[in-house]
C-alpha cells in the first residue's frame, strides 16, 4: 500500500540477471502488488546469483536484492496426472479458513498456494502441483501411470507428524511383475537428509486453519526410484500411511529411445 503521501504507480525493473534469463512483472506499474516471472532460455547456464529489483516513481526509487538459482531439468519428462487419485486437501490460498480434518497434516496446517506455486523442481525434473482449496495431494492409494518404458520415477512428497521411516513404494509393470522401494521421508518441518532424499523446496511459513500464517521453515522432498526400462509401467502403490503425502510424480524416459 502507498505510504507517506505517495500517489501513482511504481515502475518495476530487474537488473543483474544471468545471461539467458528474462524478467517480467505483472503488472509492471502498480500501486499495490506485482508478480515477477523469471524465464530461462535453453542457453542459460546453471548458476546462483543475486539480482536487484527496483521500484521507481518520479524522483523516488527503492531497490531490493534476491538470490536466483538456475537449475537444469531433464527434457521430455512425463508428468503423472494425479487428479483421479487426490484424496487430501493440502494446499490453500492465502487467508483461507479450513477444517483441521481438511488439512495436509490432518491437524490444521497446509501449504500456501501463493508460496508453493503450480510447479516445483527437484531431482532434475519439473513437478506439476495440484490446485488450491480442493483435493490436491495423494496418500495411501494406487496410482495409474502412463503406459510406457521409463528409466526413473521421480516423487515429490513429505512426511507429517514426524519423519516416516522405512516406507514401501511398489511399481507394477504390464507383464505382472513389480519393483519395490523402501524410502524414509523427513517431516515437512525439518529435513533429516535420509539416503535418497533431497530438499526440493523450502517455504518460510505454512497456513493455519484459522487463516493465519505459522512462521518457520517448511519443506518438500524429492525422491528417485529406478525403473526397469525394458518393461511398460502400469501403476505405483503408495505406503498405507496417512502421514506419507505425495504431491507429484514425474516419469523420465530413456534418452536413447
Strand pairing report for 109-112 and 198-208: antiparallel
Digits of tens for pLDDT over the chain (257 positions)?
Answer: 455 555 678 999 999 888 888 888 888 888 877 888 877 776 666 667 888 999 888 888 889 988 776 665 667 789 999 999 999 999 999 999 999 999 999 999 999 999 999 999 998 999 999 999 999 999 999 999 999 999 999 999 999 999 999 999 999 999 999 999 999 999 999 999 999 999 999 999 999 999 999 999 999 999 999 999 999 999 999 999 999 999 999 999 986 55
Q: Are 71 and 40 in contact (CB under 8 A)?
A: no
The three cell numbers of residue 247 are 504431491
Instruction: Report the chain's terminal Cα–Cα distance, integer Å.
Output: 54
- Give residue 98's Cα distance to chain centre: 21
DSSP β-ladder status, 119-122 and 47-57:
unpaired
Residue of 183, 143, 141 lying closest to 164 (CA atoms)? 183
Neighbours of 155 (CB within 10 A): 26
- Three-class secondary structure of residue 101 per DSSP: helix
Confidence (pTM): 0.80
Q: How many angstroms separate the CA atoms of 26 and 80, rounded?
A: 30
Q: Specify the DSSP element, H or E, that contains 169.
A: strand 164-173
Cα gap 228→230, rounded to integer Å: 5
Amino acid at each position: 500500500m502507498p505510504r507517506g503521501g505517495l500517489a501513482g504507480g511504481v515502475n518495476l525493473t530487474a537488473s543483474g540477471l544471468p545471461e539467458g534469463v528474462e524478467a517480467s512483472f505483472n503488472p509492471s506499474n502498480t500501486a499495490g502488488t506485482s508478480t515477477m516471472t523469471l524465464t530461462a532460455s535453453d542457453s542459460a547456464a546453471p548458476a546462483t546469483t543475486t539480482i536487484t529489483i527496483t521500484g521507481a516513481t518520479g524522483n523516488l526509487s527503492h531497490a531490493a536484492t534476491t538470490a536466483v538459482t538456475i537449475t537444469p531439468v531433464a527434457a521430455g519428462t512425463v508428468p503423472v496426472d494425479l487428479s483421479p487419485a487426490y484424496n487430501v486437501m493440502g494446499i490453500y490460498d492465502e487467508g483461507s479458513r479450513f477444517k483441521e480434518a481438511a488439512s495436509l497434516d490432518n491437524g490444521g496446517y497446509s501449504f500456501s498456494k501463493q508460496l508453493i506455486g503450480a510447479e516445483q523442481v527437484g531431482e532434475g525434473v519439473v513437478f506439476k502441483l495440484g490446485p488450491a482449496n480442493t483435493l490436491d495431494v495423494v496418500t495411501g492409494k494406487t496410482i495409474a501411470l502412463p503406459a510406457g518404458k521409463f528409466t526413473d520415477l521421480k516423487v515429490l512428497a513429505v512426511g507429517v507428524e514426524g519423519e516416516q521411516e522405512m516406507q514401501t513404494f511398489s511399481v507394477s509393470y504390464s507383464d505382472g511383475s513389480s519393483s519395490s522401494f523402501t524410502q524414509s521421508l523427513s517431516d515437512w518441518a525439518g529435513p533429516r537428509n535420509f539416503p535418497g532424499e533431497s530438499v526440493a523446496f523450502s517455504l518460510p511459513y505454512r497456513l493455519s486453519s484459522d487463516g493465519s500464517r505459522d512462521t518457520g521453515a517448511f519443506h518438500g522432498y524429492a525422491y528417485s526410484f529406478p525403473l526397469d526400462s525394458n518393461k511398460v509401467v502400469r501403476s505405483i502403490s503408495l505406503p498405507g500411511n496417512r502421514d506419507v503425502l505425495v504431491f507429484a510424480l514425474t516419469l523420465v524416459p530413456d534418452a536413447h529411445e
